[in-house]
Amino acid sequence: PVFKAPVRKGSAKVGSSKPIETPPAESSSATSYSASPSSAATGKISSDPSASAASARTAQTSTVDGPPAGKEAIAVAREFSQAFVSFEIGREGAGVSKGFAATATPQLAKALLKRPPRLPANVKVPKAKVVNIVAGPSNGGVYTLSVSLLRVGVTSELRLEMEKLKGKGWRVTNVLG
């Protein structure tokens, strides 16, 4: 708002100015966009089905990005990614389950092993190679890491969310991609 200076002669008192414009009124029309779902271009997709787009936008703008994860987190992410690339081509066994148990939260490890990936019939899926891991900024104790995978000359991304758990060290809490 624009404020008008006090009219008194002499010294002005703090807080004595008054607004000369009023803030815009809230729209009560039926086409309010605040309650409508966000567009695909600006919306945020969450792994939490109960989270709304509006709350995701609020959370996203109300926190400041923190420092990226360090070397220990990257080492855990690499170990998890090695197990994951074997898992995604249908290899199950002690190596995959031990890799998940050592690097992921128990909930994530259980969820991954409970739902193995769908593979095409009669086709051998090539195993990806973990090329690079880059740590992104943290947000509220959750650290995002981007894993570059190379498969048959094509790169893809595996995005990991990690947290440092008391007594257990770094653990992968979510996998996207």
- Phi, then psi, of 151 in degrees rounded to 5: -135, 115
Q: Tokens 């909930």, residue? A: 107
Per the DSSP assignment, residues forming a β-bridge with 137 are none
The Cα–Cα gap between 29 and 36 comes to 13
Structural domains of the chain, with CATH: 71-176 (3.10.450)
Q: pLDDT tier at 94 (50, 70, 90 boundaries)?
A: confident
Q: pLDDT tier at 1 (50, 70, 90 boundaries)?
A: low
Q: pLDDT digit string (tens) for 103-122?
A: 999 999 999 999 888 888 88
Which pTM value belongs to this model?
0.63
Q: Is the pLDDT of residue 165 over 70?
A: yes
Q: pLDDT over 70 for what percent of the chain?
A: 64
Q: Is the pLDDT of residue 22 over 60?
A: no
Count other C-beta atoms under 10 Å from residue 35's C-beta.
8
Under DSSP, is residue 161 helix (H, G, I), strand (E, B) or coil?
strand
Chain centroid, CA 176 distance in Å:
9
Per the DSSP assignment, residues forming a β-bridge with 172 are 104, 162
In Å, what is the CA distance from 143 to each residue of 70, 148, 149, 160? 10, 16, 19, 8
State residue 131's pLDDT score: 96
Classify the C-alpha dihedral 81-86-90-92 as positive or negative: negative
5-19, 50-64, 155-169 — which is least confidently predicted? 50-64
Q: pLDDT tier at 64 (50, 70, 90 boundaries)?
A: low
The Cα–Cα gap between 80 and 96 comes to 9
pLDDT (average), residues 135-145: 91
